[in-house]
Amino acid sequence: MSPPLIRLAIGPTHGTAHVGVLLGVEAVTACATHSTDLQPVPEASAHILCQSCVRALLVLSTAPHPGEPEARPATGTGRGTLGHRPIPGHLLAYCGKLLDTRPTRSRRRCALCTRLGDALDTLRRQADELLLPAGEPCHGDDLLLWAPLGRGNLVTGHRRNAVTGKGFCDRTLAGANPGALNECAPCRWRWEEAELVRQMFTLPHMRDRACSWGQQDVDLFDDRACTLDSGDAYTLSGCEETHYVVAVADRGGESHTDLLVYLSGEDRIADLRVRRDRLVAIQRPAR
């Protein structure tokens, strides 16, 4: 039976959690952390997830971008500088550095990238047929409810406004709350108003725009998701759909960029959250 990836930590209630597998009584983590005290902890615990393990999960769960090179230079450095190993489908290195879109000319490789790559190879080898996690869904669930910051009330869920990053009731949100039994009434009213505008005005406009997209000149280039503008179209690895961007809300301090897009294959307007360093193939109308 293939072992699943689980969270492992030394402390039962708090501290740093790692991702790995239990092979008998031995814990093998994605970041090569060794301790005989590592024990399984629940997904919903208060632990802080190891950032190396977060990147390892991205490596294991993301499809590669077409034509992706073996190494890229870090952002702001020359092509002849130290090469970093890119996480598939991202402009982010195994070591956590932001990467340039160009390949590197140097044969020198980052030692930290190599170390995490070796740790993942060890995990795959020792765990044999590792049960890999599913990647972040591209389109997600528009009806997903969220929990308020502080998680004081998990019974009532809130609708998230992608433009503000808060609930439609203006509450600050902490994360998804799929187990919510009730829905915040102010969120529901304001979401229904916004949805009516989308269906009456935004959807027909974007439907026409997508139909005429092939009749205009566009610039084609690869870049990170946080550089997207309204009016762009893009594709990304792991999803065959072309996404037509209606609006973008990129808050620099957050890990994700919020997008309002039209999905022609599903003929709907959708709220998406994409990692800011996700590598996307952008089609931008020529100016």
Q: DSSP letter for 65, please.
A: P
Q: Please indicate, yes or no, whether residues 109 and 171 belong to a single structural domain of this protein.
A: no
Q: Mean pLDDT over residues 127-147, rounded?
A: 76
pTM of the model: 0.88
236: in domain: yes
Separation of alpha carbons 168 and 267, rounded Å: 24
Between CA 162 and CA 228 the distance in angstroms is 15
Q: Are residues 106 and 230 in the same domain?
A: no
- Domain co-membership, 194 together with 73: no
Q: In the prediction, which pLDDT does 12 show?
A: 83
Same domain? For 184 and 273 the reply is yes
Residue 136 lies in a domain: no
In terms of C-beta density within 10 A (0-12 exposed, 13-18 middle, 19 or more buried), how is residue 231 classed? Answer: middle
Q: Which CATH number characterizes residue 183's domain?
A: 2.30.30.30
The pLDDT score that the predictor gives to residue 211 is 94
Distances (CA, A) of 100 to 75, 103, 222: 5, 8, 10
Tell me the pLDDT of the chain averaged across its residues: 89
Three-state secondary-structure class, residue 32 = coil
Q: Are 224 and 280 in contact (CB under 8 A)?
A: yes
Residue 93's pLDDT is: 96
**Rounded Cα gap, residues 283 and 234, in angstroms:** 6
As a whole-number percent, the residues of the chain with pLDDT over 70 amount to 97
How confident is the model at residue 151, as a pLDDT?
58
In this prediction, residue 253 carries a pLDDT of 74
User: Is the domain of 150 the same as that of 274?
Assistant: yes
63 within domain boundaries: yes
Counting the structural domains of the chain, the total is 2
Residue 241 and residue 236: Cα distance in Å, rounded?
A: 8
Please indicate, yes or no, whether residues 150 and 270 belong to a single structural domain of this protein. yes
Segment 142-151 mean pLDDT:
82
Both 159 and 279 in a single domain? yes
- Per-residue pLDDT reduced to its tens digit, 232-284: 999 999 898 999 999 998 877 788 899 999 999 999 999 898 999 999 999 99
Q: What is the pLDDT of residue 56?
A: 93
Q: Which domain holds residue 227?
A: 146-285
**Residue 255 in contact with residue 96, Cβ under 8 Å?**
no
CA 237 – CA 91 distance, rounded (Å): 13
Residue 132 lies in a domain: no
Token pair 């890119």: residue: 86
pLDDT value, residue 59: 93
123 confidence band (pLDDT: 50, 70, 90): confident
pLDDT of 219 over the 80 cut: yes
Q: Which of 162, 56, 169 is nearest to 113 (CA)?
A: 56
pLDDT in tens, 39-86: 998 877 778 899 999 999 999 889 999 889 999 999 988 777 889 999
Which of 82-96, 111-125, 254-268 tops mean pLDDT? 82-96
d(CA 69, CA 276): 20
pLDDT score, position 26: 83
Identify whether residues 36 and 90 lie together within a single domain. yes
Check whether residue 225 and residue 277 sit in a common domain: yes
R_g of the chain, CA atoms, integer Å: 21
Nearest-CA neighbor of 277 among 84, 99, 78, 52? 99
Distance CA 21, CA 249 (A): 37
pLDDT for position 134: 66
Residue 195: pLDDT over 90: yes
**Phi, psi (deg, nearest 5) at residue 213:** -60, -40
Residue 135 has pLDDT above 70, yes or no: no
Diameter of the chain by CA atoms? 62
Query: Which DSSP string do the residues of 103-148 spell out, in sequence order?
Result: PP----B-HHHHHHHHHHHHHHHHHSS-BPPPPPPSS--TT--EEE
Q: 226: which DSSP letter?
A: G
Answer whether residue 247 is part of any domain. Answer: yes
- Same domain for 112 and 66: yes
Look at 88 and 44; give whichever has higher pLDDT: 88
pLDDT greater than 90 at residue 136: no
pLDDT at 274: 92
Closest among 270, 259, 141, 282 to 203, alpha carbons compared: 270
